[in-house]
């Protein structure tokens, strides 16, 4: 428990450049991990679903980036909304979770959330850009990916929230 409490302090010690580079690395590593996991499970159907969800995610993210001219916090360009890094990493994490279960998905979501954190800390995105990217990534996966095994999913109905568990028993 003490180690978890120290995490915010450790993150503050990292330079902005180091944070940004670690987020850039996860942009490549999480999708690669999702792809590799389809081979580990010998899951050709999952690989096709990964291609479809990644394509849906990229098309949606890029269309919004160029349709909405929102200046980045650092002023470098007009492509702040939504965060592409976050949409890609959350797409990969949600694919891993939906297809292979919570045991694989929790670590992937933690890394995807960290990627979003790095984008805000590096002054590349506002919080709403990151949240929108995460939502696009998750929704693009859930639109085309079927669960394999047991899946745990968030549920929201009106103002009520819960968790659903589904699978083949």
In a domain, residue 46? The reply is: yes
Detail the DSSP E strand segments found in 14-132: none
Q: What is the pTM of this model?
A: 0.79
Instruction: Give the model's pLDDT for residue 4.
Output: 52
In a domain, residue 90? The reply is: yes
Residue 31 CA, chain-centre distance (Å), reads: 9
Residues in contact with 165: Cβ distance below 8 Å, sequence separation at least 6, in sequence order:
150, 151, 152
Partners of residue 161 on adjacent β-strands: 156
What is the rounded distance in angstroms from the CA atom of residue 83 to the CA atom of residue 120?
10
Q: Is the pLDDT of residue 5 over 70?
A: no
Residues in contact with 15: Cβ distance below 8 Å, sequence separation at least 6, in sequence order:
none
Domain range for 153: 16-166
Q: What is the pLDDT of residues 123-168, one digit of tens each?
A: 999 999 999 999 999 999 999 998 875 555 667 677 776 666 665 5
In a domain, residue 154? The reply is: yes
Q: What is the pLDDT of residues 99-108, one digit of tens each?
A: 999 888 999 9
Instruction: Give the model's pLDDT for residue 17.
Output: 72
What is Dmax (Cα atoms) for the chain? 53
In a domain, residue 131? The reply is: yes
In a domain, residue 4? The reply is: no
- Give the count of domains, the chain: 1
**From 5-9, 66-70, 147-151, the region with the lowest mean pLDDT:** 5-9
In a domain, residue 134? The reply is: yes
Instruction: Give the model's pLDDT for residue 169.
Output: 41
Detail the DSSP E strand segments found in the chain: 151-157, 160-166
Which is more confident, 157 or 93?
A: 93
In a domain, residue 44? The reply is: yes
Q: What is the pLDDT of residues 28-60, one digit of tens each?
A: 999 999 999 999 999 999 999 999 999 999 999
In a domain, residue 119? The reply is: yes
């Amino acid at each position: 428990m003490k180690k978890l409490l120290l995490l915010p302090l450790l993150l503050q010690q990292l330079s902005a450049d180091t944070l940004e580079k670690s987020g850039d690395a996860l942009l490549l590593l999480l999708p690669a991990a999702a792809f590799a996991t389809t081979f580990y499970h010998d899951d050709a159907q999952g690989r096709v679903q990964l291609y479809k969800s990644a394509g849906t995610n990229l098309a949606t993210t890029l269309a919004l980036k160029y349709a909405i001219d929102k200046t980045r916090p650092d002023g470098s360009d007009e492509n702040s909304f939504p965060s592409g890094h976050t949409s890609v990493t959350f797409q990969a994490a949600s694919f891993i979770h939906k297809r292979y279960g919570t045991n694989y998905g929790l670590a992937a979501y933690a890394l995807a959330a960290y990627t979003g954190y790095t984008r805000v800390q590096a002054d590349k995105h506002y919080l709403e850009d990151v949240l929108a990217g995460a939502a696009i990534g998750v929704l693009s996966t859930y639109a085309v990916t079927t669960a394999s095994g047991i899946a745990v999913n968030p549920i929201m109905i009106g103002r009520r929230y819960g968790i659903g568990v589904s699978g083949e028993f």
